[in-house]
Amino acid sequence: MSSSASGTLTSTTVGDAGAPVVFLHGLFGQGRNFTQIAKGLLPEYRSLLVDLPNHGRSAWTDRFDYASTADLVADHVRAGFAADGPVHVVGHSMGGKVAMLLALRHPDLVDRLVVADIAPASGGSQGEFAHLLDSLAAIDLTTVTRRGEADEQLAARVDDARVRGFLLQNLRAADGGFRWQANLDLLRRDLSEIGGFPDVGDAAFDRPVLWVAGDRSDYVLPEHGPAMRRLFPRTTLVTLKGAGHWVHSEQPEAFVSVLRTFLAADDR
């Protein structure tokens, strides 16, 4: 694994040979969340795990906007990883929407697109994410001397230990205390923008697209089908049993299997 930075974004590369795959994480995430999936694609694929703006080691911005975020990703990928031609792109949740905009705005850069458990629509469980953001903001970092104390404070609002662990990956030791690596203030302020989907006019992406949904999630619904097919006419939908919204972490082996099948299929 190796790390690189270009402009405002930072990323990690897994593998040194094979077809290129770019991974874009969701809200609260980091590129490294896809490490297990990227290793599961070796040696046929090499992967770029991107920290999106306001997350991980990437720079913070003044506002959230899907189009400008997609353009930043395009610039970062073109700077090196896509030097030999188009790449496959996999995006989950918020990263899935960034991936859609990347394909629609920069179709020359994207060979195949995989969208994990999100639709090109507004809505979804914004209330859940608002609660999680408020819960993180409620932690008094001035009183935290070890990570376990932050977990104890968060447990008063978030019961699931696995969710708490995922959220607290954003906590970093600094200057004798702790700070948030993610830009929580911006994410809270612009959550409605994150939960929305921009008007893309009559744009469409005519390359193969795979939608991967969790059967325990309500982020991809039958009523989203028309918008998916209008923007991405060559869409295939796969639903993974036993998976909720975080399909790649809840069913990693199945997720890798469907990725491999889709990425290796004939282009018809």
Give me the domains of the chain, ranges plus CATH numbers: 2-124+196-264 (3.40.50.1820), 126-189 (no CATH)
How buried is residue 126: exposed, middle or buried, by Cβ count under 10 Å (0-12/13-18/19+)? middle
Centre a 10 Å sphere on the Cβ of residue 216 and count the other Cβ atoms it contains. Answer: 14
- CA dist 57 and 29 (Å) reads 11
pLDDT at res. 2: 53
Looking at the DSSP bridge assignments, the partners of residue 51 are 10
**Catalytic site residue from 11, 47, 93, 249:** 93
Confidence at residue 53, expressed as pLDDT on a 0 to 100 scale: 97
Active site includes 93?
A: yes
**pLDDT values of the chain reduced to their tens digit, one per residue, 268 residues:** 655 555 589 999 999 999 999 999 999 999 999 999 999 999 999 999 999 999 999 999 999 999 999 999 999 999 989 988 999 999 999 999 999 999 999 999 999 999 999 999 986 666 788 999 999 999 999 999 999 999 999 999 999 998 899 999 999 998 889 999 999 999 999 999 999 999 999 999 999 999 999 999 999 999 999 999 999 999 999 999 999 999 999 999 999 999 999 999 987 5
* 245 carries an active-site annotation: yes
Catalytic residue among 108, 160, 185, 218: 185
Distances (CA, A) of 11 to 14, 25, 47, 69, 182: 10, 11, 10, 14, 15
Quick check: is 192 catalytic?
Answer: no
